[in-house]
Amino acid sequence: MPSPRHFIRFCLGLAILLLGIAHASPLPRATPESAGLDSAKLSSMLDYLRTQGFETESVLLARHGKLVLDAYYAPFRPGMPHQVNSVAKSVTATLVGQAISDGRLNLTDTVGEILPQYRDLPAAKITVEELLQMKSGMIWNDFVGRDRSSSWEKIMQHEDWIGEFLRQPIDPEQIGTFNYNSVGSALLAAMTEKAVGRPLLEYAQERLFGPLGIDNFRWLTTTGGQINGGRGLYITPADMLRFGELFRQNGQWQGQEIVPAAWASAATQPVLPVQANTENPYYYGYHWWVFKDRQWFAARGWGGQYIVVYPAEDMTLVVTSRRPDGERNSTEIDFTALREYFITPATSSLPANPAAFAKLQAKAANWGETIAVKNQRSPLEKRLNGRTIEIGSDFWFSRLEMKFKGNELMLGVTTRDVGNRPLYQQSEPTWQQVAGLDGQWRDTPRPPVKNQIVQSGPESLISSRAQWLDQKTLLLETLWLDESWAYRIKLNFDGNKVRLEQLGGVEVATGTLR
C-alpha cells in the first residue's frame, strides 16, 4: 500500500495532468525559432505589453498553424472565459455570413423585410450590409455622453430596444459613411435569428462553435431574449485563437470549411474608410477592422481585447486585457508597430536558441507571479478591524467593511446608484472579497449575476490583494477575472476621516470611519 506522501504526490500529478488536458492548446506547439520568430524579442514583447497603459493579461501567438507563445499574467489563468466586448461583433458577422451561405439571408435584405413588425419605422430600410459596415446614415453616437441620450447602453435597456433603435433618424447624406454603432450589431443578431428560424446561440453552436471545438462560452442576451450581437460574449483566449485561425485559413479549420472562403475574404477587406486621411489608415470590413493593403485585420473589443491576423506573415495574435479605456494612461496597441519591433518573422526558420527559448518559457510560466510589495503592516489594522467606512456621495462605493485576519483582509463592498459610470461600477450592488496582504492574490467566488452588462459563470472569480504603502495608506487592487475591468483604490486614514482615490481615473472622495 502506498504511503500517504506517495499518494499525495500521485494525486497532485494526476491533477496537473488533468489540468493540462483541460487546457490543452488548440494548436500543435512549436518553438518560436522553428517558426522564424525570435524568442528574445517575444520576451521583450511581454515586458512591453505590461508597461503602463496596456494592462495585458494574456498573449497567444501562432504562426503556420502552430502555437509559439501563450502567456497569462497572474492572477488570470488558462481556460478561463473572458468577456471580449466588441470582439463579439466579428463573431456575429460570421454567423450572418453563414446564414447567407445557407440561403436564409441576403446582404440586401432590409430590417423591415426580415422583421416586418418594424417596417413602418424610420430606419427600417437599413440593409444587412449597411449594418455590417456601420454605414446606415443613422444619426448616432455610440459612446456615453453626459446625458446618455443616444448611447447603446440606454437603447438596450428598453423592453422593445429594436423599435426604440429604429426610431432614430437617418441622414441621407451620411449613408455610406462609417459611424460606429453597437446596437446595429445587436440588431444583426436579432435579424439573423429570425432568418434561421431558431435561437441564434443554438445555430452558433451547430455551425461555428461546435466545429471549432469551442464549448466553454456564454453570451449575454438582450431584453428581448436574443443574444447581444454587439458584446457580451465570454470566451477563452485559446478559443479566440481558434476563431482567428479560422479566418487566417480563409474559413477552414482542420481541413473542414466552416465559413465560405468568399465570405472570409469579403469580411476582411479594407473597403470602408474609417480614418483614411492619416499616415496609418484604418478601414472597416464586415465587423472587422482592416489596415491599409490588408496588412492585418482584427476583431477588437473595449478594454484591450484583440484577435489580429497578419495574412502575409501567416500569423494570428490574441491579446486580452483589462485596460481602463477612456481613462488617463490607457493605451491602444499599434499592431503594425508590434509586428515591426517584436514579431516580424524570418522567411524561414531561425537557428535554435535554447537559452533564449528557456528564458521565454520561464517568463511565460511565471508572468505576473512575482509581485513587488512593501513588506510592512500598519498598527492601524487593529483599530480598523471590524469597522465600516461610510463614503460620500461623490464616489461609487457607499460602504466598505473591513476585517483583518493574518495575511488577509476581508472586505464587504456596497455601491450606490452610480448613473453615468464605467460598466464595472454598474454590474453588482454588493459583494464580498478577500485581499491578500502578503503580495499574493486571493480569489473569492463571484456571486451569480446576470443582467444587461455582465453574466457570471461557475468559474467566475474576484481576485484581490492589498498592501500598506505607508503607516496610513492602504492600496487595494481588485480584478473580476472574467471581465475586462479592475480597480485600484488608495485609502488614506487620518483619525476617523478617510480619503479615497481611484487610480487611473479622476475620482476622489472622503469617508468617515464608523
pLDDT-above-90 percentage for the chain? 73
C-alpha cell at 277: 486621411
Whether residue 337 is predicted with pLDDT greater than 80 in this model: the reply is yes
Looking at per-residue pLDDT, the higher value among 5 and 111 belongs to 111
What stretch(es) of the chain map to CATH 3.40.710.10? 82-343
Whether residue 176 is predicted with pLDDT greater than 90 in this model: the reply is yes
Instruction: Give the mean pLDDT of 261-269.
Output: 98
pTM assigned to the model = 0.91
Q: At what angle do helices 39-48 and 354-365 cross, to 10 degrees?
A: 30
- 5: confidence class by pLDDT, cuts 50, 70, 90: very low
pLDDT tens for 415-463 read 886 555 555 556 677 889 999 999 889 999 988 888 878 899 988 999 9
Whether residue 145 is predicted with pLDDT greater than 80 in this model: the reply is no
Cβ-count burial 10-44 (b if 16+ within 10 Å, e if not): eeeeeeeeeeeeeeeebbeebbbbbbbbbbebbbe
The dotted CATH code for 82-343 is 3.40.710.10
Looking at per-residue pLDDT, the higher value among 134 and 370 belongs to 134
Measuring CA to CA, which residue among 263, 341, 247 is closest to residue 107?
263
What stretch(es) of the chain map to CATH 2.40.128? 380-513
pLDDT-above-70 percentage for the chain? 88
Structural contact between residues 284 and 178, judged by C-beta atoms closer than 8 angstroms: yes
The dotted CATH code for 380-513 is 2.40.128
- 276: confidence class by pLDDT, cuts 50, 70, 90: low
Q: What is the Cα 444 distance to its own chain's centre?
A: 20
Q: What is the pLDDT of residue 427?
A: 66
Distance (Å, whole) CA 162 – CA 72 = 39
Q: How many CB atoms lie within 10 A of CB 167?
A: 14
What is the DSSP annotation of 172-227? GGGTTS----HHHHHHHHHHHHHHHTS-HHHHHIIIIIHHHT--SEEE-B-TTSSB
pLDDT tens for 6-34 read 333 333 333 333 333 344 678 999 999 99
pLDDT tens for 398-420 read 999 999 999 999 999 998 865 55
Structural contact between residues 319 and 56, judged by C-beta atoms closer than 8 angstroms: yes
Q: What is the pLDDT of residue 450?
A: 86
Location of C-alpha cell 450581437: 229
Choose the weakest-confidence range: 207-216, 242-251, 432-441.
Answer: 432-441
pLDDT tens for 49-107 read 998 888 899 999 999 999 999 999 999 999 999 999 999 999 999 999 999 999 999 99
- Per the prediction, the chain carries an average pLDDT of 89
pLDDT tens for 366-407 read 998 766 566 689 999 999 999 999 998 778 889 999 999 999
Q: What is the pLDDT of residue 4?
A: 38
